Structure 1
Amino acid sequence: MTRVASAVRPRLAQAADAVGPRLARAATAARPRVARLARATKPQVARITRAKTWQYTAGAATAGLALAAGVVTAAGPWDSTGQRTAERDRAAAQERTGGADHDGSSGTSSGTAAAPRPAPSAASVLAGLGGGAGGSLKSAPTGRALAGVLEPLLKDAALGTRRTAAVVDVATGTRLYGVGADEALTPASTTKIATAAAALTAMGADHRLTTRAALEADTGELVLVGGGDPTLTAHEDAEGWASLRTLADETAAALKKRDLREVTLSYDTTLYAGSELHPIGVNDNLAPVSALMVDEARTDDSAGGPAPRVTDPAADAARKFAALLEDHGIRTTSPGPSKATGRAQSLATVSSPPLSALVERMLTNSDNDIAEALARQTAVATGARADFDGAGRAIAAQLDKLEVPLSGAEFLDGSGLDRGDRLTADLLTALLAKAGDPAHPELRPVLTGLPVAGFTGTLTSRYTDGAAGIVRAKTGTLTGVNTLAGTVVDQDGRLLAFAFLTSDTSDPWAAQSALDKTATALAACGCG
């Protein structure tokens, strides 16, 4: 790896000279992160046998750091190293993973893992946003060159009978390549990109979801009011996330100040409307969609992946809350449903991390529970009915504000579990490009939350022999459906957004491999 560092230093210097003193300072600040990335990718590099792949895996990541550092600082809510503060906080908090990539055939890592490793660099995601600042980047790839690279791979029989694709230059928003790009197909979990963009547009990156305990002074009823936070946890290691234990501690203290040692306990889930059960029915990939739940209503100690869920998440949360109050000497009645009145006094509250962090966790881990919560929250924020239908309409309405192509799009849920969902490759790439637009810094978590090839989330065990750290993409898997949408930094330093959607696949593993090869080829392309 010493040779790698020596080889890339001239590239850092050249980029700094081309862009100016500001980038030089940013590149200097980024060097410690480059060193950490080199150490982190050593196992992957050791397995790479082809020289060209080795060069773009090690070299493009380092060049991306240098090219992006100055641009990112100006373009979005980043810290001085170019890494999203929410991403850093998530890594420090070692939060639990959640969700699963749909039908369990996507090759996700075990849900018992502590947490996804932080991305090698959030900055490298935006390496191409300079658009050739200072003449440091070559022109964007041509459509003919991209066709020559991608079309043979997209014809792989493993990709089924229907496949669509689009590639967009993020710096300009220009579509460079498309095959059936305006044809709407089942998107599977890439739907979460649309859910994320809609939620961030409706509520902003700093919005938080609050759970509270409220006391009805005239009746003495204590109401646990759900705020729709699916990351609320009863685990002791809850640093960085809303803790039911903290809420119980503070509530018990407030009750004792009022000389109350026994209360009638109830719970309020009226923030959401309609059925809690997803149209697919009972499924280990998703809890009933409730405004009040703890640890995603899992019945085991798993942190992510499929797991049996309780049938009534709100009642389960209230029972756990009662047990925690009892530890403080507060006795409660058996909890039942209710609704807090406007006269109720809030005794204690706990809030989720900012929406930016929730979006990143949702995308990285393909967390279906967070996805459905953010769809409902989008409805709540915009005055729509907070059920499946209302959430779908709210998502479409918010995306329409972004002026992205919505023709053929249908949103029946927020997670992509519903096979009736429809998205186009054009829409997915337009959303990714919009997330890189300096005019929309609130959308940046759509990019930084994407799983990193070989490092995080649903791509942890993929791309170990190529493009590790360069491809960042949301996976999607349903029976007969395989999709992939995300970004790559190509050999010329351009940031490209891509979307590949396939239907009628018969072998999910072969289809997944074919999509990975296609994204890898795009990253290796010097087609400008």
Structure 2
Amino acid sequence: MVTVAGPWDSTGQRTAERDRAVALGRPGGTDHGRGSGASGTSSGSPRPAPSAGAVLAGLDGTSAPGGIKAAPGDQDLADLLDPLLKDAPGLGGRRAAAVVDLTTGKRLYGLGSDAPLTPASTTKIATAVAALTALGPDHRLTTRTALEADTGEVVLVGGGDPTLTAREDARGLASLRTLAGKTAAALKKRGVREVTLSYDTTLYAGTEMHPIGVNENLARVTALMADEGRTDDSTSGPAPRVPDPAADAARTFAGLLKQHGVTASAPGPSKATGRADTLATVSSPPLAALVERMLTNSDNDLAEALARHTAVATGKPADFDGAGAAVTARLKQLGLPVGGARFHDGSGLDRTDLISPDLLTALLAEAADPARPQLRPVLTGLPVAHFTGTLAGRYTDGAAGLVRAKTGTLTGVNTLAGTVTTPDGRLLGFAFLANDTTDAWAAQSALDGAATTLASETP
């Protein structure tokens, strides 16, 4: 059953799910290669998700191995979920929920499901859908160097790729070291061994500082950075950030040029002209892989970058307001129930963001639609209960491997949205939002309990 529901990724998370499922005597998955990384981390180059057309072709229950069944239209989940969601004291003063059949998109359960609440990081599901529809799953983010023929200035042009890395082991990401080597080689062919270096961040507009201010969950949002401006060796999660990621990346680039025999001046901000000749380029993994990484690790820097790229692709200003407007516009074009939704960032760190459970489950249903294979990474990127990403430390019971969901946590906000496989082989989408919570652990436990109930007790 898990084979049909997909997905698998380069961390080997389907291997873990298969092993766990066998141990529980539940339907299992397929091993498509083992990774060496620990749960919740990326090992090697992330790969694009398989086509939804192939993986989800049998969701009507007629041609799929294991026979995934559509949920009965008259199924009432209220008796199961109301005590866990409507009556649970740990979920604070405002709560809303929805459960849908991902085969048909029909809502099976609703608790104020059209009420927009603060979604926290479940916002990233909307960002993912908007970016994939605006740019396509094969799109790559390119960082380049350009030579100004008139002045001899070399410009490091930011392409809005926060995964650009200066580490020796690039792990399949775009490498600043590779860019420096290729740039130095191109300069030497021109007989140039000393340059004036500058950097260009003009792909983005507006303020770089998120409304939350200086925060270890997010660097300044700029079109040029290396390793998300982290000052430690971490690749995900909170970490101290450099004050100016673009300037820091340019200084690092200057040092790398020197290692290749090219001396560069202290870099300063500039803008590459249309007359500049491109010297070298490096590109990110495909957008499909970036979306998976963003969702699995709840990567705020990547989320803000993808929201801005959505704005660039749709002709809107690449700032916080323009990115929010671009995401909203893309969802409206898909005919989704945007209603009172508000997007003030791409990551969900902004407490003024608003999304309803109806919209979140509609996004999941859209991603499960075989007619939209470009949205498949939205599902493949969801953390796997007990195994990967932000769910690696949760679900130690029988729901491990059967729930895939994006988490959301801010002070007073706890949310969860994703997919669940029921005991009889149905694939459901759910969204649980709780605002004004006072006990984060109790709220998280209540949401996990509701998802576990769907996985283990759905009639």
TM-score by length of 1: 0.80
Partner letter of residue 77 of structure 2? Answer: L
Which residue pairs with 2:225 in the alignment?
Answer: 293
Counting only pairs closer than 5 Å after superposition, residues 318-329 of structure 1 correspond to structure 2 as 318-329=250-261
Q: What TM-score comes out, normalization by structure 2 length?
A: 0.91
Pair 1:346-2:278 in alignment = yes
Q: 1:354 to 1:93 in 2, by over 3 A?
A: farther
Aligned residue in 1 for 2:403: 471
Q: Aligned residue for 2:266?
A: 334
Cα distance, 1:492 vs structure 2:
1.8
Q: Secondary structure at the match of 1:517?
A: helix
Q: 1:41 aligns with which of 6, 20, 25?
A: 20
Q: CA deviation at 1:515?
A: 0.6
What is the DSSP-based 3-state SS (H/G/I as helix, E as strand, rest coil) of the residue aligned with 2:361?
helix
Matching residue of 1:440:
372
Is the counterpart of residue 507 in structure 1 residue 439 in structure 2?
yes
Identity of aligned residues (%): 66
Alpha-carbon shift at residue 507 of structure 1 (Å): 1.1
2:150 to 218, 221, 235: 218
Greater helix proportion: 1
Q: Find the aligned partners of 1:518 and 1:207 in 2 and give their Cα distance.
A: 37
Shift of 1:60: 3.3
* Matched letter for residue 167 of structure 2: H
Give the Cα separation in 2 of the matches to 1:242 and 1:117: 10
- The number of residues matched between the two structures is 449
Among 145, 149, 160, the residue aligned to 2:76: 145
Q: Which residue identity does 1:305 align to in structure 2?
A: G
Residues 367, 378 of structure 2: 8 Å contact kept: yes
Q: Deviations over 1:316-363 (max 9, x none)?
A: 000000000001111111000000011111110000000000000000
Whether 2:347 is the aligned partner of 1:418: answer no
Query: Contact between 1:60 and 1:490, CA under 8 Å: does it hold in 2?
Result: no
CA offset at residue 520 of structure 1? 0.5
| CA shift digits 1:426-445 (9 cap, x unpaired) | 00000000001011110110
* Equivalent position amino acid for 2:20 in 1: T
Alignment of 1:118-137 (within 5 A): 130-133=59-62, 136-137=67-68
What is the identity, as a one-letter code, of the residue corresponding to 2:454? L
Do the aligned residues in 1 keep the contact of 2:56 with 2:370 (CA within 8 Å)?
no
The Cα offsets for residues 471-524 of structure 1, whole Å up to 9 and x where unpaired, read as: 000000000000000000111211100000001111111111111110000011
CA distance in 1: counterparts of 2:212 and 2:343, whole angstroms: 14
What is the CA–CA distance in structure 2 between the aligned matches of 1:433 and 1:484, rounded to whole Å?
16
C-alpha contact 2:18 2:28 (8 A) present in aligned 1: no
Whole-Å separation in 1 of the counterparts to 2:317 and 2:327: 12
On the 8 A contact 1:128/1:494 being kept in 2, the answer is: no
Residue by residue over 1:192-244, the C-alpha shift from the partner in whole angstroms, topping out at 9 and shown as x without a partner, is 00000000010000000000011111110000000000000001110311000
- Partners of 2:280 and 2:356 in 1: CA distance: 44
Equivalent residues of 2:17, 2:401 under 8 A apart: no
Q: Structure 1 residue 523 and structure 2 residue 455: aligned?
A: yes
Q: Tell me the CA shift for residue 172 of structure 1.
A: 0.7
Deviation of 1:115 (Å): 4.6
Name structure 1 gaps, 5 residues minimum.
Answer: 1-10, 16-22, 28-32, 46-53, 66-80, 98-108
Contact 1:61 1:470 in 2 (8 A): no
Give the aligned partner of residue 393 of structure 2: 461
C-alpha RMSD of the superposition: 3.0
Alignment of 1:200-349 (within 5 A): 200-349=132-281
Shift of 1:35: 10
SS state of the match for residue 130, structure 1? coil
Where do 4+ consecutive residues of structure 1 move more than 2 Å?
33-42, 91-94, 113-119, 121-129, 134-139, 141-145
**Aligned match of 1:361 in 270, 273, 293?**
293
**In structure 1, how many angstroms separate the alpha carbons of the residues matched to 2:291 and 2:89?**
34
The one-letter code matched in structure 2 to 1:148 is D
Task: After TM superposition, give the deviation of residue 311 of structure 1 in Å.
Answer: 1.4
Q: 1:93 to 1:374 in 2, by over 3 A?
A: farther
